[in-house]
Structure 1
Amino acid sequence: MEPHTIVSREEWIAAQRAHLAHEKAYTRARDELNRKRLALPWVKVGKNYTFDTPQGRQTLAELFDGRSQLLVYHFMFGPDWEEGCPGCSFGMDHTDGALLHLEHHDVSFVAVSRAPLAKLEAFKKRMGWKFRWVSSAQSDFNYDYNVSFTDDQKKAGKVFYNFGVQDFECDEMHGLSAFYKDEDGVVYHTFSRYARGDEPMAGTYAFLDAAPEGRNETNGMMDWMRHHDRYEGDGRQQQKKA
């Protein structure tokens, strides 16, 4: 941690007040970004995607569960993986508490992965999660939404992810997609975000950003982040240094 200037209380308040102006500008810019997001065009979903769920095969339209809006988290869990991605798991640790509020705001939520349903259910039980999690193993959903990649794409070393061509990094990638279903049952894809666009879902970051050392990441989040049942000790760094 870099040393900080120690000042009087009056100087500290002046510095905080100056910084508050930047915080307010960021808030106003975020509000404007949200307004522009809601004004984006929609595209009709033309394919009849189906998913393996604990209730049997369901279509994308059925995943709305009687609501008009649906958020789909693209969770990185490949068919041959033994457990879900630690980063995706970190994000999902923040989800269950939001479900009641989302559902009472006409928004349903579901996570989707290509791993078989049995693997998803076992890992969900291990993590103690409650949100719905379904498998797209028998559909093109992951490929069409650019979070899974074909063998040809992987061999070429280039994939389409986050709305651009990038170097291939992993069989599975993460993201969040939003859908709307109108009164006639027509489903529209309204928005997707990927990569660091997912960060607002992880409230821990908001706390860390306000902490004295911030996120304190030297080589990305995987320096410190673990599945929540894999942390060792209690994280008290000063005791470790003593």
Structure 2
Amino acid sequence: MSDIDDAGIARRVVSREAWLAARQAHLRNEKALTRLRDLVAAERRELPWVRLDKSYVFDTREGPRTLAELFAGNRQLIVHHFMFGPDWEAGCPSCSLEADHAEGAIVHLEHHDVSYVRVSRAPLDRIEAYRRRMGWRARWVSSHGSDFNYDFHVSFTPAQLAEGRVRYNYAWTEGYEELPGLSVFYRDDHGDVYHTYSSYARGNEEVIGAFIYLDITPKGRNETRIMDWVRRHDEYPEGPVTGAP
């Protein structure tokens, strides 16, 4: 039996036996996705590396630091390219959602030879004010005055934007001043730093657990545009919102 509930969700109500049969059929696809994810992860680890010949210096709470110094004793470094332009009053809400999720993972990453840092072009004082507002502890540095964001295709110059398209996510696309990404680096015993991986746009979704939770619910992400429901965690109305968004 199929009908539409008060929230506009189509539902098909069946017996427990029929539900179990449908669930077991769906499990085959879930297992196939898990195997494919393992395959993609293994393939990602086999990607070639690029040694960085260019020096990048960041503004940090401890003073100027190079990219190599951001590894903080670990061999691997994950950089969250956090959208926060030099003249912005606050960080991007969508990047903030991702940052919320990273906070709980940091202690585990740090004990598994991985350091994590956020990088934005905003001046350090604005970054620090926003970090305190959000209650985050992750290291966050400013690349203001550096080519880092431009070289990793997450920030774009006025001249690039004037052309009407930019190189982002390994293709030509509509340009914006700032766009999101994740990059991974490795530092060897000689201190050389290698770029091993970058993902952009929806390629970052797997680190955002809220998406995974929503994807297992009947209403799913329930969005008109990608992430149009996301707010900074201190900007949601108090208490649950029935029927949101």
TM-score w.r.t. length of structure 2: 0.94
Give the aligned partner of residue 174 of structure 2: 167
Residue aligning to 2:125: 118
Equivalent residue number for residue 89 of structure 2: 82
1:29 aligns with 2:36: yes
Once residues 22 and 84 of structure 2 are traced to their aligned partners in structure 1, the CA distance between those partners, rounded to angstroms, is 45
CA distance in 1, matches of 2:206, 2:138: 18
Listed one character per residue, the Cα deviations across residues 102-133 of structure 1 (whole Å, up to 9, x for unaligned) are: 00000000000000000000000000000000
Specify the SS of the correspondent of 1:97. helix
Determine if contact 2:9/2:219 at 8 Å carries over to the other structure: no
Indicate the residue corresponding to 2:218 in structure 1: 212
Letter in 1 for 2:91: G
Equivalent position of 1:199 in the other structure? 205
In 2, Cα distance between the equivalents of 1:30 and 1:56?
40
Report runs of 4+ in structure 1 exceeding 6 Å deviation: none
Match of 1:229 in 2: 234
- The amino acid that maps onto 1:217 is E
Aligned-pair distance for 1:234? 2.1
Between the aligned partners of 1:161 and 1:219, the Cα distance in structure 2 is 19
Long gaps (5+) in structure 1: none
Quote the Cα distance in structure 1 between the aligned partners of 2:15 and 2:159.
62
User: 1:66-121 deviations in whole A, cap 9, x for unaligned?
Assistant: 11000000000000000000000010011111011000000000000000000000
Instruction: Provide, for residues 135-191 of structure 1, a one-character-per-residue CA deviation record: whole Å limited to 9, x for no partner.
Output: 0002100000000111110111111111111121x2001100000000000000000
Aligned equivalents of 2:127, 2:40: Cα separation in 1:
34
Question: Counterparts of 1:2 and 1:52 in 2: how far apart (Å)?
Answer: 49
Q: Which residue is 1:134 aligned to?
A: 141
Which letter does structure 2 place at the counterpart of 1:116? P
Distance (whole Å) between structure 1 residues aligned to residue 181 and residue 148 of structure 2: 13
Structure 2 Cα separation of the partners of residues 219 and 163 of structure 1:
22
User: Which whole-Å CA distance do the structure 2 matches of 1:27 and 1:91 have between them?
Assistant: 22
Question: In the alignment, is residue 50 of structure 1 matched against residue 57 of structure 2?
Answer: yes
Let me know the Cα RMSD of the aligned residues. 1.0
SS of the counterpart of 1:198? helix
**Alpha-carbon distance in structure 1 between the residues aligned to 2:165 and 2:98:** 26
The aligned residue for residue 70 of structure 2 is 63
Which is worse superposed, 226-235 or 56-65?
226-235
Percent identical among aligned pairs is 55
Residue 108 of structure 2 corresponds to which residue in structure 1?
101
Letter in 2 for 1:141: F
Question: C-alpha displacement at 1:212, in angstroms?
Answer: 2.2
* Amino acid of the structure 1 residue aligned with 2:191: G
Question: Number of aligned pairs?
Answer: 237
Which residue of the partner structure matches residue 18 of structure 2?
Answer: 11
Matched-pair contact (CA < 8 Å) for 2:86–2:144: yes
Could you tell me how far 1:235 is from its partner in structure 2?
2.8
